[in-house]
Amino acid sequence: MKIKSLKLKNFRNYDLLKLDFDGSTNIFYGNNAQGKTNILEAVYLSGTTKSHRGAKDRDIIQFKHDESHIEMIVEKNGISYQLDMHLKKNSPKGIAVNKIPIRKASELFGIVNLVFFSPEDLNIIKNGPAERRRFIDLELSQLDKVYLNDLSNYNRIVNQRNHLLKEIGFNNQDNLRDMLDIWEMQLIQYGDKIIERRKGFVEDINKIISSIHKKLTGGKEELRVIYEPSNGEMTLEQALNRSRERDIRIKSTSVGPHRDDICFMIGDMDIRKYGSQGQQRTAALSLKLSEIELVKQMIHDTPVLLLDDVLSELDKHRQNYLLDSIHDIQTLITCTGVEDFVNHRFSINKVFHVQNGQVTGEN
């Protein structure tokens, strides 16, 4: 799987940009706040419909314009795909595949598989559970359209249940309680599927992450990942029944996949709480490398890796391990200077200099 080219119009700080990528390593270097990350954001948005920053479409569109356009050409299994995305300030984005409009974002997923790795990901272990859920959801949504559909339905139903809880709580409308049964039945239907799929994903990660983490730590540590459902040992149905009165009081759904977490254990130590910063960052690197390997296994192809200024956050040992691990996949890397690669036996195939929204290719 390769990304061949990218065109941007009125996107962030780019009026108009056309890039052709090498099938291996592409370096974008320049000072901070020049637009390097914006290029990776556009690629990720084209493949997933979402900004890795969580930005809304209106914030991505260039100031004084009402629309922005991204065109990305992807080659997969010898077949070329043109992905077009029109971002609009006052209406939903428009998406087309090979110039044919699609109605659901799920029709886009699976055409290109992307793994995004930024300095923020190095804090995924120590930050809150929302980031760890987001990590699983973003990857599984790319790999599994059924999961994406279940997650979308689940989130919609949680919102409906929360709205009903507010109606009951604020207006003391006990006659609405019977309607909770209807929403909870659907919540359980989709929630059980999500939990089961996430558990399977974590099991697959565990088959890979242990050996990677051992190599990163010189055999000193063995890392395990554990899925922690908010319903604990109870079924989701039992947990919802038990928490109903509390949910009415707090006017929010307190159990379910939207409250679940992932635990990272070294021996008997939960490194989310008790690990050093070095242990947490090394575990995060192991997690992202495992993600790359798992995607390879599941799609029988290589994903495209987007590395956003990660090397500057890693010591030489971890830099070497990361670069050695990605030599066989197409990679788009941002950095402040190509000197980051001088001491590595790492082949650089194409270099771009980014300055104030202008990108120039170099040999």
pLDDT exceeds 80 at position 52: yes
Polymer length of the chain: 363
Strands in 304-308's sheet, in edge-to-edge order, are: 114-117, 304-308, 331-335, 25-29, 350-355, 358-362
pLDDT exceeds 70 at position 363: no
Measured CA distances, 64 to 2, 53, 67, 92, 358 (Å)? 34, 22, 9, 18, 19
Q: What is the pLDDT of residue 100?
A: 96
Q: What is the pLDDT of residue 106?
A: 82
Question: How does pLDDT run across 97-124, given as a tens digit for each residue?
Answer: 999 999 888 889 889 999 999 988 888 9
Largest CA distance in the chain: 72
pLDDT exceeds 90 at position 358: yes
Query: Which residue shows structure tokens 């974008």?
Result: 28
Share of the chain above pLDDT 90, in %: 77
Helix spans in 217-309 (H): 236-250, 271-274, 277-299
Angle separating helix axes 145-171 and 129-143, nearest 10 degrees? 140
Q: What is the pLDDT of residue 169?
A: 77
- Structural domains in the chain, sorted by start: 1-113+304-363 (3.40.50.300)
Average pLDDT over residues 277-285: 93
Question: How does pLDDT run across 130-165, given as a tens digit for each residue?
Answer: 999 999 999 999 899 899 999 999 999 999 999 999
Average pLDDT, the chain: 92
- C-alpha–C-alpha distance, residues 67 and 44, integer Å: 18
Task: Tell me whether residue 82 is exposed, middle or buried, using C-beta atoms within 10 angstroms of its C-beta: 0 to 12, 13 to 18, 19 or more.
Answer: middle
Q: Which element (helix H / strand E) includes 204?
A: helix 177-216
Q: What is the pLDDT of residue 320?
A: 87
Least confident interval from 203-207, 249-253, 315-319:
315-319
